[in-house]
Chain A
Amino acid sequence: MDIVLQQLVNGLTLGSVYGLIAVGYTMVYGIIGMINFAHGDVYMVSAYITAIVLALLSFFGIHSFPVVILFTLLLTIIITGVYGWTIERVAYRPLRNSTRLAPLISAIGMSLILQNYVQIAQGARSQGVPTLLDGTLRMHIGDGYVQLTYMKVFILVAAFSGMGILTYIIQKTTLGRMCRATQQDRKMASILGINTDRIISYVFVIGAAMAALAGVLITLDYGSFDFFVGFVIGVKAFTAAVLGGIGSLPGAMLGGVILGLAESLFSGLVNTDYKDVFAFGLLVTILIFRPSGLLGKPAVEKV
């Protein structure tokens, strides 16, 4: 029983981070109907930015955890957002009215550029950041217990807050309504006075910002990373987005959490080596019964 609970908690943590990254895939897909293949690398870049910001803060003698975490989150999110904006400008906007395949290829190109640029600038070896938050929270349940490092508690809180804030922005604010309008009918949105190119840029920035939040959290927790970390987690997050129904924001979050839970439960209860097989098996099974994902809408041809 303990192990199930423990793995549920672990899975929720992992899944919340998948959800954060999946948001970027799903929003970009929703608004331009294309997969941003460079998104995993945006995540990877944010890991490096996290390390650089941490080094700078430490250089200036700032060590208090709340201050460090606040600055790291803020700066990493902003700088990674600029990367998201640039990717849209360079790889997508010039190809807005071309064939659907062209931006797909330019996005793969962008992904390669980012990986190689980071490799050249930062070296190919894996890097690390120091532990910021020590200690473990232990909750007794019956005669057993569930334990969670403080860092994981922080991840849970930060990730769900991030998703909560984003949901609020998309559902309740003018910016969010403009995003949804552009997603649902771009031409009509422009006729109503929305600068749809700008909204598409914002969506890339939002996606990158969410990936950056995930990047900071995972990097602080895990400690080490290299220029290739974006790949696996990108594939996982993409899987989460498809699982939840690509294009659907709550779907991406739900997909992330389900994927995280499935992975953790399977590796805790059955076998660690085959957890990815199980996760993808789950995806296939769900897609057989719900081809458009859990919360996705049946595909309609975009005009």
Chain B
Amino acid sequence: MSNVASEKMLEFKDVDVFYGPIQALRQVSMHINKGEIVSLIGSNGAGKSTLLMSIFGQPRASAGQIIYCGQEITKKSAHFVASNGIAQSPEGRRVFPDMTVEENLLMGTIPIGMAHADEDIQHMFNLFPRLKERRNQRSSTMSGGEQQMLAIARALMSRPRLLLLDEPSLGLAPIIVKQIFSILKDVSGTGMTIFLVEQNANHALKLSDRGYVMVNGQIRMTGTGQELLVNPEVRDAYLGGH
């Protein structure tokens, strides 16, 4: 966006990641500017979730650099990265199964402490009224979609500077997907930077300032959301259009 100073918030420089002998990321270079919404699309097994997790060093990059707000975090621990303002709603949701909805939300406050906890929980209940109804329910007994909302809300609870979302629309009804994307637009308006991995490429690219396309662990293409939306190659592969 033109009104956002293009200051880099997160940058990958030639990052390689391996799972044992399997190379999952190859020489990945990309960046996210402050205040942007950036999406990453790619087919199954392309390495999108790996890229998100490598920010937390799980798995750790074996070559290259990951830089966050001017500081190299390639070799930092996951809790250090989280404490410095990056939150993730991960693939598979990973809500704590034996905790209630409210306790799960509280787990999001670890990096910033409990000072805003009550206020922020109320805010999450406004965004996701479903969670309010279930506040004392054990999260393992919630539906997949409810768990997805909880994972996103938990990530928001740390008031992150950079929010990472791995397929936030997965398993959600179309109407809820719409809501989630509109919530993302709202939080982005408050200055939060968002990095989005999505199968739902149409939605994601429409919302995004920029996007990256990943194939086999490499960044294949990049451009503004609009450019990628109309790109024939992208349309064929990820938008189901002909």
A interface list, Cβ under 8 A from B: 174, 177-178, 180-181, 184-185, 187-196
Contacts and interface: CB of A to CB of B under 8 A. Distances in A.
B56 A177 contact: no
A178 B90 CA distance: 18
Contacts of A195: 77, 79
A194 B110 contact: yes
B88 interface: yes
Contacts of A180: 96, 98-99, 103
Interface of B: 56, 58, 77-79, 82-83, 87-88, 90, 94, 96-99, 103, 106-108, 110-111, 114, 154, 158
B107 A191 contact: no
A56 B133 CA distance: 58
Contacts of A193: 79, 82-83, 110-111, 158
B19 to A, nearest CB: 14
A192 B87 CA distance: 7
**10 nearest interchain CB pairs?**
A193-B82, A190-B78, A193-B111, A193-B110, A188-B94, A184-B96, A195-B79, A193-B83, A193-B79, A190-B79
B98 A192 contact: no
A188 B79 CA distance: 10
Main secondary structure on B side of the interface with A: loop
Contacts of A191: 56, 58, 78, 82, 88, 90
Given A184-B99, A196-B79, A178 B56 contact: no
A190 B96 contact: no
Contacts of B78: 187, 190-191
Highest count of chain A CB atoms <10 Å: which of B79, B82, B83: B79
A177 B114 CA distance: 13
B110 A192 contact: yes
Given A191-B88, A192-B108, 17 more contacts: A174-B110, A177-B103, A177-B106, A177-B107, A180-B96, A181-B99, A181-B107, A184-B96, A184-B98, A190-B77, A190-B82, A191-B82, A192-B111, A192-B154, A193-B82, A193-B111, A194-B79
A137 to B, nearest CB: 40
Main secondary structure on A side of the interface with B: helix
A194 B96 CA distance: 14
B96 A188 contact: yes
Nearest to B164: A191
B110 A178 contact: yes
B168 to A, nearest CB: 16
Contacts of A178: 110
A185 B114 CA distance: 21
Given A177-B107, A178-B110, A185 B83 contact: no
A185 B158 contact: no
A189 B78 CA distance: 9
Highest count of chain B CB atoms <10 Å: which of A181, A188, A193: A193
Contacts of A181: 96, 99, 107
Nearest to B106: A177
A193 to B, nearest CB: 3
Contacts of B56: 190-191
6 contacts: A174-B110, A177-B106, A187-B78, A190-B58, A193-B111, A196-B79
Highest count of chain B CB atoms <10 Å: which of A180, A187, A192, A195: A192
